[in-house]
Structure 1
């Protein structure tokens, strides 16, 4: 290679770096948080024990409410909550409406194509909720038969998992979180699929609800905090936060307070 060719190669390599959309973005999130003096956290306010707006107190409560305050304290800024849901939160991250999603987000391969995840801090099997008076669905094994309608919330990991596993039952989706309960109560669906935290809500709040646990482990999903792609420094900072709360006991304490100890990941 001639000297001229070497210079040209170097020039185009440097030029390609400047054209890379991720170049110069590293550290941008932390800078924005410091500049605005606040961290914007995406939450779904109907997630019992995770990020839940209590109808009694009208206050947010749950493990990720406590831990998002802990994160804000570590960063030395206040926390601002941005309401979202599973069908929209990736858009909200990508458009900068929030710096991080902290509401028990399942780490799936499909989501990894658009967003980055920290190490996991919770893991849950799937559970089914039906009515105590249902004429024939009394166990998990009763569900997958012709004529049974199973409801899931659109955009959740349960949707893909049930599409893969169901052979005979019909799967239907709803967008809003409380629509699942309404579908079952109205008889339009026989059961809906959820996880451990939301299943605990159903049996503690509604006297009509029957929680059906699988006979063994279902496909287990890990929950992590999610951030937009393109800022590795922010991802590393969030991952360090998860390591910190596992080591210093803050994760354990928050999980115990909201009866989530059985599903925390300690290492």
Structure 2
């Protein structure tokens, strides 16, 4: 009888433990408000979204303005946390920052992190030196044996080039170096990047051109990365984005940073 009582007690204890609600997760929103600081992970190498001045360490760009506005509306200070494309997702998972500046939504990334509502759509385009204008005019011109295609490690384009150019040689470049620098140095024939960055790069580097392909590849939404389990934080940010869209805030930034797009 005593043995049965012990078994029943153990089962009851287990049932109560199972039924008891798990400790509620403290939202990042609460942590940010209580700490008075918003930690923003950013690569600082994506013109015009996030650019770091190597001389001063200051950041500028479309996303930097967005994050500055977000911190202002939250009533907190902002701290930019340097990261790289290959560590952008792990940084969110490891709680190194509360949110990241924008990145493309990909099937690989959404396995590990959450994304806010998208606020911009971009595509992928190839770039080359102007002296190669007659060599490359289509996607298929690039997808040839002997052609070297550079891509930055950890970007969404790193996954895309495997499908776009199965015959070409792919060279993944690790930050702080960038793919287009390989083209400038003659170590690669082509590099690939987003439409927004490509438009800026050809303004800065006279020898570069965007290959006049029929249309960009892999159209994708971009948004901010957050903890995928933090629904309170995600809801706040999504509502905030909608409010700012209605106020014309994002339109004003497009005019400031991408006036030709």
Structure 2 length-normalised TM: 0.88
For residue 53 of structure 1, report the CA deviation from its aligned partner. 2.2
Q: In terms of mean alpha carbon deviation, does 76-85 or 134-143 score higher?
A: 134-143
In 2, Cα distance between the equivalents of 1:89 and 1:100? 10
Q: Specify every segment of 5 or more residues in structure 2 that has no aligned partner in the other structure, as ranges.
A: 1-7
Give CA deviations for 1:144-197 in whole Å, capped at 9, x if unaligned: 111101111111111111112223212120111543133112222101000022
Q: What CA distance in whole angstroms lies between the structure 2 residues aligned with 1:198 and 1:174?
A: 17
Provide the C-alpha distance between the structure 2 equivalents of 1:76 and 1:228, rounded to a whole number of angstroms: 21
Distance (whole Å) between structure 1 residues aligned to residue 138 and residue 54 of structure 2:
30
SS in structure 1 at match of 2:253? helix
Task: Output the CA distance in 2 between the equivalents of 1:60 and 1:45.
Answer: 7
1:110 alignment counterpart: 108
Number of equivalenced pairs:
252
Alpha-carbon distance change, 61 to 117 in structure 1, aligned in 2, over 3 angstroms: same
Q: Which residue number corresponds to residue 4 of structure 2? A: none
Distance, in Å, in 1 between the alignment partners of 2:200 and 2:177 is: 12
Q: Secondary structure at 2:121's aligned position in 1? A: strand
Deviation at 1:79, TM superposition (A): 1.0
Pick closer, same or farther for the CA change 1:239–1:260 going to 2, 3 Å: farther
Residue 215 (structure 2) pairs with residue 187 (structure 1): no
CA contact (8 A) 2:40 2:78 kept: yes
Distance in 2, matches of 1:97 and 1:181, equals: 29
Select the structure of larger CA radius of gyration: 2
Hey, what's the Cα distance between the residues in 2 that align with 1:159 and 1:145? 18
Q: Which residue of 1 aligns with 2:162?
A: 163
2:41–2:80 Cα contact (<8 Å) kept: yes
Query: Residues of 1 paired with 2:138 and 2:244: CA distance?
Result: 35
Question: Residues of 2 paired with 1:44 and 1:226: CA distance?
Answer: 13
Name the counterpart of 1:130.
128
CA distance in 2, matches of 1:54, 1:205: 15
Structure 1: which 5+ runs fail to align? 263-267
Check whether the contact 1:197–1:260 (CA below 8 A) recurs between aligned residues: no
